[in-house]
Chain A
């Protein structure tokens, strides 16, 4: 037992004393993350601004005078071009040179004015290119707002008072229309991303150090010095597993804090989820989160160490650990994009259940039962792997080739 503590302390000291290691394990990933996120958010908001400031190029055929007046009175500026051949306009739309083509029927105004019941209702056709950002934005604005306004205007001309035609409105004066559990909504946005980031960061943080702790020590010939000391193989293994757990746990904690702190940076990038950025975690949620993270840190550490034991060098170890890392990535993605309620057996599948439960904890949708089965199954698998590692440590062709 004494050996576990000594080896644990040495492993921690090894990381703490090494500036390069400290930087590459704790700081660099956090910096990279913030960098990438603020970069994407800048790019996204630049793009939005660009679309906003773009003057839409619009062709209008058979332009009614009243529509022209309406456009002139409006705030937005449009580049209204004189008509060309139909084929040519479509070509320009395809190329993204033109954004919209509004085709009014001939004499729309008189058609509307002289309308009798039973006549064909005139149709305005709007052509656009949904794969061009400018074009779709123009379409949204013209068909949704400008043409709708125009229709109301013409309708008013015909019937005088519009109110007679309005049977009811929907939410025209209801500031309380959004009824949701804020906690749950907050969690939805967070719950979508955080588990994913936490699991992959936890693993990534443990990977470099874990492979160095085992395969690196074998490579450097320092493992053998532990093997001739009077500590049990199991103590060596546990000391290293716990140290790796703590280091990767702390690094993932740093990443999470950095992520939450840099949320304002990214809020633009995830427009509309402003409310999702508030982190309100109850004590119960906190306890559950901590429990799952500890179990995960344990399981990941044993996984990484297990693969490293069979490698002769850190390079070889990284190659062996890679598939496990990919598995963790895929599982994270799966949990991110499944909205179906998981069946109760799901909560007994280690790794996968932790991703589901993390998501559930953050959106306050998890039962203690689900939490407990997740916690136990991950810890149990970790314990089994630890046993396998100890067995491997006793094999001389693995440890002292």
Chain B
């Protein structure tokens, strides 16, 4: 894990940029995660101080939302939709295939730190289920074969 001292200036900048914004905690957390890939636990103290909140309150918000993470993600994050429409198009098989291929379960990162696997509940791509995202890109009608191709393309493009 990275040393927080090198991340701290970034966190402080983000805090500063949102100082006067009403309801700024989520935008701040997004800002940090967008930049660093996760919210370093050590940042909680700085956030709490800047917003006049307790550390417990900040931590409570971070842990409430599925999207926020407190550990560094792999190079790419793969999200597999688990919701009903994708289930109706066999997403369970895809889910199993992905876990097996990557050798990880949900909320885990491969040992080469290449891929993090996360569940997601609907990507709004239900007209072309089953759906996954790799980073910000959505992919529809993903068969296990297509999954393998996408994975290979990711690895090729590293």
The answer to whether A binds B is no
| Chain A residues engaging chain B, CB cutoff 8 angstroms | none
